[in-house]
Amino acid sequence: MSQKKISKGHPNRGAHNWLLYNINDSFLARYIEYVRGDVYDLGCGEAPYRAFFLKSADRYVGVDWTQSFHKILVDVTADLNQPLPIETGVAGAVVSLSVMEHLCEPQIMLNEAWRILKPGGWILVQVPWQWHLHEVPHDYFRFTPFGLRYMFNKAGFINISITPQSGVFTMLVMKVNYTLARLIRGPRPMQLILRVVMSPIWYLGQILAPILDRLDPTWQNEATGYFAVGQKPCQ
């Protein structure tokens, strides 16, 4: 499956933010070899990546709670701030994308992910850093790479790798694009016209931003967010 198709049907993907989803797709494609056996998607929402993960996993298990602001397609209903109703050592991999910021107890989620993983299993996480408030009031944290590494170590993970999603120019373009998209209001025909007018601006910004990111030697310090992976020790 090509990277462009991984999130093609994602319910939140649009003309103003496709770059972020392409970046996420690239990350998932890079680490798909870690997704084996039974994969547990913690905070799965509408399970937009189910088909992608099943390209390498044997089984997909979506886990989420019933109070989400989004439509949810779950296999296991659970509060990720609490111990999970899942047996120990059953997951070949755990994924959690854009979820930890919405947990008031994110360390519990990481601890539980470690518990349900089989020895040698991997966790793949994406979290925001420079990002607007969303799903209020359930928006509690922003994570630095140092905070992530501390929390992953505390949970017991090894072979931890943390990668910035983007640089400062991508972050700025995304903030402008999301702000302009939120300002589009009024009758539906007017909204459609405004989106058509704005689309070339959105597109150009998302094409140029990654190129400009390379000009900043400290680009990783102003990331939109970070990817983190870790492994449960084999013994």
4-8, 12-16, 61-65: range with lowest mean pLDDT: 4-8
Superfamily of domain 3-167+218-231: Vaccinia Virus protein VP39 (3.40.50.150)
Does pLDDT of 2 surpass 80?
no
**Every domain of the chain and the residues it spans:** 3-167+218-231, 169-213
Q: What is the model's pLDDT at position 119? A: 98
Q: What is the pTM of this model?
A: 0.93
Does pLDDT of 44 surpass 90?
yes
Instruction: Provide the strand spans (E) within 22-130.
Output: 38-42, 59-64, 76-77, 91-97, 117-128
Q: How large a percentage of the chain has pLDDT more than 70?
A: 97
The mean per-residue pLDDT over the stretch 67-76 comes to 79
What pLDDT digit, counting tens, does each position of 104-137 carry? 999 999 999 999 999 999 999 999 999 999 999 9
C-alpha to C-alpha distances, 53 to 106, 136, 141, 222, nearest whole angstrom: 23, 29, 27, 29
The mean per-residue pLDDT over the stretch 4-26 comes to 91
Q: What is the model's pLDDT at position 66? A: 79
